[in-house]
Amino acid sequence: MRWSESCIPTLKENPREAEIPSHMLMLRAGLIKKLTSGVYTFLPTGFRVLKKIERIIREEMDAAGCQELLMPILHPEEIYAESGRLKSFGPELFKLKDSRGRIFALGPTHEEVITIIARDEMRSYRDLPQTYYQILTKFRDEIRPRYGVMRAREFIMKDAYSFHADDDCLDRMYRRIEKAYRKIIERCGLEYVIVEAESGYIGGNESHEFMVLAENGEDMLLSCPCGYAVNLDKAAARVSDGRRGEALDPYEEISTPGASTIEQVSEFLGMSEKGIVKTLLYKAGERNVAVLVPGDREVNDIKLVRVFDDPDIRFLEPLEIETVTGGPVGFSGPVGLPEDVEIVADTLIRDFEGMVAGANRADTHLRGIVAGRDFEIGRFEDLVFAREGDLCPNCGKGLASSRGIEVGHIFKLGTKYSSSMNATFLDDKGKSHPFIMGCYGFGVSRMVAAAIEQNFDKDGIVWPMSIAPFQVLLLPLNTGDETVMKAALRLEEELAGAGLEVLMDDRDLSPGVKFKDADLVGVPLRITIGRKIKDGVVELFHRKTGRVDDVAVDAAAGKILEIAGIKG
Ligand code: ATP
Ligand code: MG
């Protein structure tokens, strides 16, 4: 391929809209072009990378025994009403009307469509198990499209769905897909961790995310050298502080004028925030609930929604707090709350011998209160965010925090969709059961950005060989020089003939510009054909290590094939 005949619109300047390196580099290296917010074209060079990733994914999904199909993008809205997801998708669902006024959605994912296929086509346990996958454009009206193709409104996903008669069979497929995903990411040359994940609105029980590690990843992780890793949204806080707080018999009232935040109370009493109990009042469904957490911890809203089974759970308004507790905001506590207020405590509260908490009266706190004696805790739940230094549940060491980009997500859905959409099969006794399902997503277009986010330097992209748009860049410096061009053409023929993807920068531009573009686009191997060609010598440059070697032009192709792992 000749650069002069290609569309590789490189940019010298950093585009202002780009917030993270991969976004900036994809625009600057001419891999993508924005049409509008969250909507991008993959230009030819970017598309080459995308196709390589797709190919690796196809090979591994096929090897795992999955069947490829192609489902429609246009979905009648009713199917989301049937599954009950109209509400949970909310504004993320792109909708449009046909000429008869019927409403359609652009597919954000395909659980509904595939469940309808299973419902109609698989009747008996003999038809099971089945696993399908597709690679298709998805549409989601993301609240905050950003980072280019990393979080787009139109993006390419590989999604797979499996149907089983029992949980063991689902578990076997789940493990197979997990293995396939590991191989996909490893073949793309990226470092990753697998984390236990929160299942989010797709529902179900077991769920894992595949995180490509990168400083600018959107996801916060906690991980341990023992191999344990977890998404911060899901991690349970475990500490080794032992018993804390002091019990007093009886508890005492202390005047804390103006001290309505944990910080102020801690300062006022000269004690650490973790010895104080924060009492938060919420409306969950029709009930008022009081949530107790250590003063130095934050409540994780995702856990809250799950524990109270209410996606609309909210804080009580200041006036409501006064009505319910009798005291103003900032002075709530568990002692003396009305009977109908359920008190739910984070599991860390178990460690408290005695507590300091609000008195439900202005400018007053209570010290030395004891659960079970002065008030009753209805139940203990995991409610707060874990953080760096909390203990690994596997080995007890302190967890470290890092960041990752979610490229894959696998779920055991169980019967969530098959039950709501009445998709059943008959067992060997003729009894009807809903299918047991799994679903497995992989962000194909996001993977391109994730690969760059893990592989770049100050000069540009540093592609892993397996997904590089080209493996070799030929750089004749003076395109007017006949010896230079003759050597370049010969190398092109030798390398392309051996099956390598070769890009030749045949543009009549200054060496400075050509080197800058070469580094930016990040082709792994480069042969510079310059003045030394009169002695039969070219320069071989390795983009990742920066190593430069003089090699005889006659030996250059052989050397490249050796490095690229191809036998000449
Ligand atoms: P996220 O938490 O990042 O929004 P999600 O939980 O909504 O992801 P899934 O529904 O599990 O994602 O989709 C499967 C995969 O599709 C994700 O793991 C991710 O790699 C990719 N993906 C999801 N949303 C986007 C998007 N807006 N742009 C690009 N890729 C995406
Ligand atoms: Mg999402």
Return d(Cα 471, Cα 204) in angstroms, integer.
Answer: 43
CA distances from 476 to 493, 522, 534 (A): 14, 17, 13
Q: What average pLDDT score do residues 324-343 get?
A: 96
Q: Ligand 1 test: best mutation among 37, 112, 139, 151, most atoms within 8 Å of CB? A: 151
Cα of 154 vs centre of ligand 2, distance in Å, is 12
Cα of 443 vs centre of ligand 1, distance in Å, is 6
Per-residue pLDDT for 201 more than 50? no
- In this prediction, residue 198 carries a pLDDT of 62
Predicted model pTM: 0.86
Per residue in 405-440, pLDDT tens? 999 999 999 999 999 999 999 999 999 999 999 999
Quick one: which of 479, 448, 468 has its CA closest to 23?
A: 448
Per-residue pLDDT for 77 more than 50? yes
Q: What average pLDDT score do residues 233-259 get?
A: 89
Q: What average pLDDT score do residues 537-546 get?
A: 96
pLDDT band (50, 70, 90) for residue 240: confident
Helix (H) or strand (E) holding 491: helix 482-497
Per-residue pLDDT for 568 more than 50? no
| Cβ contacts of 535 within 8 Å, gap of 6 or more | none
Per-residue pLDDT for 203 more than 50? no
Ligand nearest to the CA of 152: 1
Are residues 211 and 406 in contact, defined by beta-carbon separation less than 8 angstroms? yes
Domain boundaries, the chain: 47-236+401-453, 252-381, 470-563
- In this prediction, residue 273 carries a pLDDT of 92
pLDDT band (50, 70, 90) for residue 31: very high
Per residue in 134-154, pLDDT tens? 999 999 999 999 999 999 999
Question: What CATH class is the domain 252-381?
Answer: alpha beta
Lowest mean pLDDT across 65-69, 202-206, 516-520: 202-206
Q: What average pLDDT score do residues 218-238 get?
A: 89
Quick one: which of 21, 18, 19, 20 has its CA closest to 33?
A: 18
| Cβ contacts of 397 within 8 Å, gap of 6 or more | 224, 225, 226, 391
Lowest mean pLDDT across 174-178, 200-204, 562-566: 200-204
Q: Which residue's alpha carbon is nearest to atom 16 within ligand 1? A: 443
Ligand nearest to the CA of 141: 1
Per residue in 299-312, pLDDT tens? 999 999 989 999 89
Per residue in 275-298, pLDDT tens? 899 999 999 999 999 999 999 999
Strands 537-542 and 548-552: antiparallel
For the chain, the 3-state helix, strand and coil shares in percent, each to the nearest 5, are 30, 30, 40
pLDDT band (50, 70, 90) for residue 243: confident
Cα of 422 vs centre of ligand 2, distance in Å, is 26
Per-residue pLDDT for 204 more than 60? no
Q: What average pLDDT score do residues 359-366 get?
A: 96
For the CA of 210, the closest atom of ligand 1 is 18
Q: Ligand 1 test: best mutation among 406, 444, 445, 453, most atoms within 8 Å of CB? A: 406
Handedness of CA 335, 339, 341, 342 (dihedral sign): positive
- In this prediction, residue 566 carries a pLDDT of 65
User: Was domain 470-563 assigned CATH 3.40.50.800?
Assistant: yes
Strands 229-231 and 219-223: antiparallel
Give 227-239 as a DSSP string.
S-EEETTTPPP--
For the CA of 408, the closest atom of ligand 1 is 18
Handedness of CA 180, 181, 186, 187 (dihedral sign): positive
Lowest mean pLDDT across 1-15, 202-216, 288-302, 477-491: 202-216
| Token pair recorded at residue 387 | 């953080």
Are residues 316 and 350 in contact, defined by beta-carbon separation less than 8 angstroms? no
Percent of the chain topping pLDDT 70: 98
Ligand nearest to the CA of 441: 1
Lowest mean pLDDT across 150-154, 201-205, 316-320: 201-205
Q: Which residue's alpha carbon is nearest to atom 2 within ligand 1? A: 406
Lowest mean pLDDT across 20-29, 232-241, 537-546: 232-241
Strands 192-196 and 207-213: antiparallel
Q: Ligand 1 test: best mutation among 94, 138, 202, 218, most atoms within 8 Å of CB? A: 138
Percent of the chain topping pLDDT 90: 90
Q: Which residue's alpha carbon is nearest to atom 1 within ligand 1? A: 406
CA distances from 28 to 62, 82, 239, 282 (A): 35, 45, 46, 48
Cα of 475 vs centre of ligand 2, distance in Å, is 42
Q: What average pLDDT score do residues 45-51 get?
A: 98
Ligand nearest to the CA of 209: 1
Per-residue pLDDT for 470 more than 90? yes
Per-residue pLDDT for 347 more than 80? yes
Question: What CATH class is the domain 47-236+401-453?
Answer: alpha beta
3-class state of residue 446 by DSSP: helix
